[in-house]
Amino acid sequence: MSSIKSVVISCAGIGSRLGLGQTKALIKVNGRSLIAWQLELLKEVEDIRIVIGYQANDIIEEVLKYRNDVVFVYNHRYFETKTGASFYLGAQHGNDFAIEWDGDLLVHPDDVKTILNTEGEFICYAEKSSDEAVYVQTDDKGNVLAFSRETGDYEWTGPACIMRDKIKYSSGNVFNQLEPYLPLKGIKIRAYDIDTYSDYTRVMEITKNWI
């Protein structure tokens, strides 16, 4: 698994909606930085690529406390682009399949194992929980048919896996890059975005007993 798939963690953004004055990768969740949580959960993955922009040097310093074999990729246009640009940049020169992983996302440890052991392309989604969600519409087998800002069966959280050569540059969101290839296999997981301060306090409670 881990030898043939790259994991791209998008940590370039400012995180302005959260209002804590720093990039989300560095916020503390129950005593450890968010990026430290992710690196622990992904410790079995050989090829991790972290896309940086805002507070890049601080993220590098934090990551190197835990791993010295990650690939850092700069998104120099982080102020004017979204996660789609970071995913594209991070996946270049990686393995044949790339798993997109948002820098503000925590996934339950058991579900991380499921994601990493799933073959082929897929899209993950979760029960609705975030304040500012994008939704997925699914069929009766759980496959993802469409994304929507208005209605859907579940919340789009990522991660998602797709062949590297299908990833086109986009200044928008990752789900915009995935839309041309729908329907895709869906996996329901326990995952939590941290977009707002109320998301943050909720995740602090949820993750108390993890790891």
Planar angle of CA 140, 143, 145, nearest 5 degrees: 100
CA distance 66 to 51: 17
Instruction: Please enumerate in sequence order all residues whose Cβ is within 8 A of that of 205, keeping only pairs 6 or more positions apart, or say none.
Output: none
Over residues 6-35, the mean pLDDT reads 82
Q: Tell me the domains of the chain and their CATH numbers.
A: 5-123+157-182+191-209 (3.90.550.10)
Among residues 112, 119, 102, the alpha carbon closest in space to that of 190 is found at 112
How far the first Cα of the chain sits from its last, in Å, is 22
User: How much is the pTM?
Assistant: 0.93
**pLDDT tens, position by position, 37-92:** 999 999 999 999 999 999 999 999 999 999 999 999 999 998 899 999 999 999 99
**pLDDT tens, position by position, 135-184:** 999 999 999 999 999 989 999 999 999 999 999 999 899 999 999 999 99
Among residues 14, 5, 86, the alpha carbon closest in space to that of 47 is found at 5
